[in-house]
Structure 1
Amino acid sequence: MVAGVSSSGVYGVPLLRPSQQARDRSPDGQKDIGQNTAGLSGTLTDDQQRQVQELKRIDASVRQHEAAHQAAGGPHAGGASFTFTRGPDGKNYATAGEVQVDAGAESDPEATVRKMDTVKAAALAPSDPSAQDLRVAQQADATKMQAQQELRRKGSGPGSRSGGSSGGQDGAEGGATPSDTAAPALAARGAAAYASAYGIGPRTGTAGIMV
């Protein structure tokens, strides 16, 4: 199973559903939207210059966001793909992005626990995780909890040591808590956003990662 972790569209650009993105992107994973050609034949107006500066800021933020996913996801993270908006200066700027992360369970439950720690760390690596990022983190917690339950049934492995520290949320079950083993790899604000979204109290010992 592959899940997408992404930065949401900004600057008034709607973020397409994954199925739409897959259809509309070019083979290199890039999609050019918006054909604002004002100012191409002459000097940009003050408003257009402000638009360009904002697009540059957004482009840098989106690329940093996706780079954080890739760095934390390691071998489970794929390449980044971007949606572009053409600015008044005729240049394309990234205004949304996505990194595909392998979030499928392994055949060995211990390997699944380790993998889900990495998947969750990848989802929460940016300081400003999107709603999709939070859903992937929640999904990783649920998959990890299932693997821990399997280990507890066997009476051995990290599941018995971890107990219920990572109570994933699926169906009628309660909110998930950030994994203790993944915590050092999570960006502080990313983990805080996850905690806030799922009604978890603040935790200590969470360190930021290099972005």
Structure 2
Amino acid sequence: MAAGRTTPASGTTDASAKPASDQQQQQIQQLQRADASVRQHEAAHQATGGPYAGGASFTYTRGPDGKNYATAGEVPVDTSPERDPQATIRKMETVKAAALAPADPSPQDLRVAQQADAAKAQAQQELRGASSGAGGGDAGKDTPGNPSPGNGTAAPALAARGAAAYGAASAIGRQPAYAGITV
């Protein structure tokens, strides 16, 4: 019975099916390992991201055996700031943990972690500005009537937003083998 394959349902041999060559077997094994790795990678993002992580989506490659194997994936993560700086800080800690959850974070994962750090720093700056400006009127606050306060909080906040936007824009049009987290 060297030629053909036994079908599970009937137990008969399919004469048209040929055994896979050694090269095809190696390719199938590589695809199986990639599939397991991609699914594990994205599951780590989802499990750690909690309510801020969406469902995983995958890109598939058809193997020589006719089966589809996941070879890339991504999990959308909400990186938008919350209304309250404290809530934003907590959220960004979760987002960063989700981005770095896999054992092998992708470049996109690292960018999302940087964006979370920038948003967290901005929220911390807002908290410091709110606590130092308490009872002091508009002094030290970034308001339309006071565009350049004496404490210089506008520049770091804009720099953080700029860094986050640059990180997001630089990923447009590229999809690494593990797309990881998307913003």
**What TM-score, normalized to structure 2?**
0.64
State the superposition RMSD in angstroms.
2.0
Q: Where does structure 1 lack aligned partners over 5 or more consecutive residues?
A: 1-39, 157-166, 173-211
Q: Does 1:151 align with 2:127?
A: yes
How far apart, in 2, do the equivalents of 1:133 and 1:74 lie? 16
Aligned equivalent of 1:107: 83
Match for 2:80: what amino acid?
Answer: G
The number of aligned residues is: 123
Q: Does 1:87 align with 2:63?
A: yes
Once the two structures are superposed, the pairs formed by residues 161-200 of structure 1 within 5 Å of their partners are 170=160
Which structure has the larger Rg over C-alpha atoms?
2
Match for 1:49: what amino acid?
Answer: Q
How far apart, in 1, do the equivalents of 2:119 and 2:39 lie? 28
Aligned equivalent of 2:31: 55
How far apart, in 2, do the equivalents of 1:110 and 1:129 lie? 27
Q: Where does structure 2 lack aligned partners over 5 or more consecutive residues?
A: 1-15, 133-155, 164-183
Aligned equivalent of 1:139: 115
Aligned equivalent of 2:96: 120
Aligned equivalent of 2:49: 73
How far apart, in 1, do the equivalents of 2:79 and 2:25 lie? 42
Match for 1:103: what amino acid?
Answer: T
Q: Identity, % of aligned pairs?
A: 72
How far apart, in 1, do the equivalents of 2:82 and 2:19 lie? 57
SS in 2 for 1:82: strand
CA deviations 1:65-86 (Å, max 9, x no partner) are 0000000000000000000000
Match for 1:136: what amino acid?
Answer: V
How far apart, in 2, do the equivalents of 1:154 and 1:83 lie? 45
SS in 2 for 1:43: coil
Offset at residue 43 of structure 1 (A): 1.1
Offset at residue 154 of structure 1 (A): 1.6
